[in-house]
Each structure stands twice: as structure tokens, then as C-alpha cells.
Structure 1
Amino acid sequence: MTTLERPQPLLSMAEKTAAIDAICARARILPVITIAREQDILPLADALAAGGIRTLEVTLRSEHGLKAIEVLRAERPELCVGAGTVLDGRMFAAVEAAGAQFVVTPGITPALLDAGVHSDIPLLPGISTPSEIMSGYALGYRRFKLFPAEISGGVAAIKAFAGPFSDIRFCPTGGVNSANARNYMALPNVMCVGGTWMLDSSWIKNGDWARIEASSAEAMALLENNG
């Protein structure tokens, strides 16, 4: 389908910005989930939810990503399920068809930004430079993922972005952990953080769902007590 043939989205960019705000306000943490085994989909989601993490970013870094989104949307409708590591328009269309409620990308391309403009699924594009912010800004984007956050300047970069981009807010991801998450969340232009520290791969491999639940609860308490 060409750009001229696409149906116009029902939601404006401002409405999609508001949707991202609502998602991030509820989440506080977006767990960056990579599913290695199909049988882990539901118990992992249940462990996270039991610990208070009910907004999930399921990445397409494995062959099970799309299946996980489909299963969770069908079997756990109370959760908010988004798609991460979306790299191109084909992937965007696939996660849209799978039922993703939001989309997160590690970077931006004209095709991805265009896909977000023409979809009713809110897109959180990944950026690491002012020029990338400006590319999205020109199309109406006001919410971005800073990635990889720590090596792209971290807290200091987000503070600096507040000057020229006063209406922009961020979800920093990449190097965010229990030791620095509160520093990010203390910034007025940070709406939530992304991370994996509550998802140790060995816990998932061993089916240690109780440990993931406990770690998730600790992570939520850490940020809820951030003021």
C-alpha cells in the first residue's frame, strides 16, 4: 500500500502523545523482554504482573516476539502489551497485526516515523541526538526513547535536552538499572524508564518466577518512592 492509499489515522499526533503519556505514567518501568522459549511467555508475564509491572515491551529480538504479543493480547487482556526493537515498516505492520498497543524503536528512519504518523498505535521512537529529535519533532512527535541512554549522555544529556526541547519527554533505556533509575526518574522531562534488571536471563532459564516477581516488586517500590 502506498502512502497515498493509506487510510488516515483516527488519532492525531497530539492524541497519540497523550496515549504514550498515559502508558508511561501507569508503567514507570518498561521491561525490555526478549522471549527465548515460547513456554516462558505466560509465566514470565504473570511474574512481572504479580510484582506490579503490567505494561510490557516485548521485543522482536527473537523468533517468539510476535507470537508472544499475540498470546498476551489474547490470554492476558488486562496487561498493556507493546512491541520493541521494531526496525522497519514491515515489522511495524507485523506488530500492528499482532495487536501491539504501542511500538518502541531503537532508532529512527523516515519510513518508521511515517509508519507511526499513519497508524493509530502510538510510537515511541528511539533517538540519541538533537538532530534525531528534530526529525521526529517536525512530524509531530513529542515523546522519545533515549537509547542507549547511559552511553548517550545519560542524566546529563536529558537535562541538556530540556533547554531547546522544553515540550519533549523521554523514556531512557540502555544502561538503566536499580542503581541509577531514581536519578532518571527525578528529572521532570523523564516519564518512565526502560530496563532489564528485574529480568535476569538465568532466572528466566531456570523458571525462577518467584525471584522475578520479587525483583519486579522491588523495582516498582524503588520508583514509587522517588517522590
Structure 2
Amino acid sequence: MPSKTEQFLSLLDGQPVIPVLKIDRVADAVPLARALARGGLPAIEITLRTADALEAIRRVAAEVEEAIVGAGTILNARQFSEAEAAGSKFIVSPGVTRELIAAAANSKTPLLPGAITPGEIMMAREAGLDFLKFFPAEQAGGASFLKALASPFAGIRFCPTGGVTTRNARDYLALPNVVCVGGSWVAPDELVRPGDWAAIEQLAREAADLLKA
């Protein structure tokens, strides 16, 4: 039986960028997910930072067959359960806590917990978690910090998120301990508000090709 890390990586299927989305209008969720999937980024993270986030996850899970929707900014076990019930295929948290580790242990849904300090990384590793979110990436030391973690934490892989843009994404993706990056630049507010799904699809296509360049 594949581990939860292997399960998560199979969901990503080599996708280099996970769009990190804040849904202000629930009606945007389905066309946005479709545009991102058409552009080559089917795995998306809808953050629980707005009142409509869970409903957005429900709609994408039910209506966008080509999308792989996950929930982000999960802070406790209750939110983990709510996001899972809404249809989330993976769970992302900004940090790692014993409560979230326990919730993940009792669930088939993989957890991508945030960890930036050696202590947090060791805590996650002790719990059997070896694919971690590095957040906030740029503020915590960026690609050079992550590069320094590769040797003492061999086998631990990361998804840097926070301050990652088209300007620095390749710096992260070039590191041996980085699987993918998370970013909001593929769905900026100035394109989501007017519903410019074609422009978002093009940004997604460019992001999906980052590893090919």
C-alpha cells in the first residue's frame, strides 16, 4: 500500500506549481479551477481564509472532474474534518501541531504540514511525514535556507510557499529537496475579479512548463 507521501505525489503527477487560491466569490471557484486545469495545473489549494472556502471546495470537487482540489490554511482537527468532508483530496496547514498530526493519522487524506525550523522538521519526521510545506519561504530564508537543509534532513522533501513568484520559482525547483512550489501568481485578483479565465489559463500553462525550461 502506498504511503501518504506517495499518494500525495501521485496526485501531483509532476506538477511543479500548486496554485494557492483565496476564493472571495464562490461563483468564481468552478471556472477558475477549470481554467487552471486546462493550463496544466489540476491540483489546486483553496485556502480556508474566506467564508465561502468550504463551499468552493464542495463545488469544485463535485463539478470539476479534471481538478484535484485540496484545502489550505487548516489550523486544527475540526477544519481538517470539514475540509475532508467537503471533498478535499489533500490538506495543507501553515504549521505542524500534535492535533493535526493526530487528525492526519486517523485519515486517508494526506497532510502537507508547514515546517521551517529544524525542530519542526524533526517533529514532522518523527510522525512519519516527509513531504512538508516550507512557509513562509522567502521570509524564512528562501532557496539558500532550503539548500542548507538538504544534507541534515536527507529524505525530507518540500513545497516552498510564500513569496514564490515567476522570478524565483526556478531557484526553488532546482533544489534536490524541492518537489514543487505553491503560489498565488497564477490566479491574481486582477484577473479573477473580471473573470479573465483565458489569461489565467495562460499563466497556468507557463507555470506548468517551468520544469521544462
Tell me if both proteins adopt one fold, taking TM over 0.5 as the criterion: yes
Distance 1:81 1:18 in 2: 17
Deviation at 1:143, TM superposition (A): 0.7
Inter-partner Cα distance in structure 2 for 1:87 and 1:23? 22
Give distance in 1, aligned partners of 2:50 and 2:14. Answer: 26
Is 1:149 equivalent to 2:137 in the alignment? yes
Matched, 1:102 2:115: no
1:149–1:172 contact (8 Å) kept in structure 2: yes
State the partner residue of 1:120.
108
Q: Which moved more, 1:214-223 or 1:193-202?
A: 214-223
Q: Which residue of 2 aligns with 1:44?
A: 32
How far is the alpha carbon of 1:150 from its aligned partner?
Answer: 0.6
Q: SS in structure 2 opposite 1:222?
A: coil
Greater fraction helix: 1
The residue number in structure 1 matching 2:155 is 167
Query: Pairwise mapping of residues 215-226 of structure 1 onto structure 2 (< 5 A)?
Result: 215-225=203-213
Matched, 1:30 2:18: yes
- Secondary structure in 2 matching 1:30: strand
The answer as to 2:125 corresponding to 1:137 is yes
Fraction of identical pairs, as percent:
47
When normalised by structure 1's length, the TM-score is 0.90
SS of structure 1 residue aligned to 2:88: coil
Q: Distance in 1 between matches of 2:13 and 2:62?
A: 24
Instruction: Answer with 1 or 2: which has the greater Rg.
Output: 1
Matched AA of 1:101: K
Question: What is the distance in 2 between the residues matched to 1:98 and 1:50?
Answer: 23
Q: Distance in 1 between matches of 2:57 and 2:99?
A: 23
How many matched pairs? Answer: 213
Deviation at residue 127 of structure 1 after TM alignment: 1.1
Q: What amino acid is aligned across from residue 184 of structure 1 in structure 2?
A: Y
Cα RMSD, aligned residues only? 1.3
Contact 1:176 1:194 (8 Å CA) reproduced: yes
Q: Aligned partners of 2:47 and 2:153: how far apart in 1?
A: 28
How many Å apart are 1:25 and its aligned residue? Answer: 3.7
TM-score (norm 2): 0.96
Q: Secondary structure at the match of 1:77?
A: coil
Runs of 4+ in 1 over 4 A off after TM superposition: none
Name the counterpart of 2:202.
Answer: 214
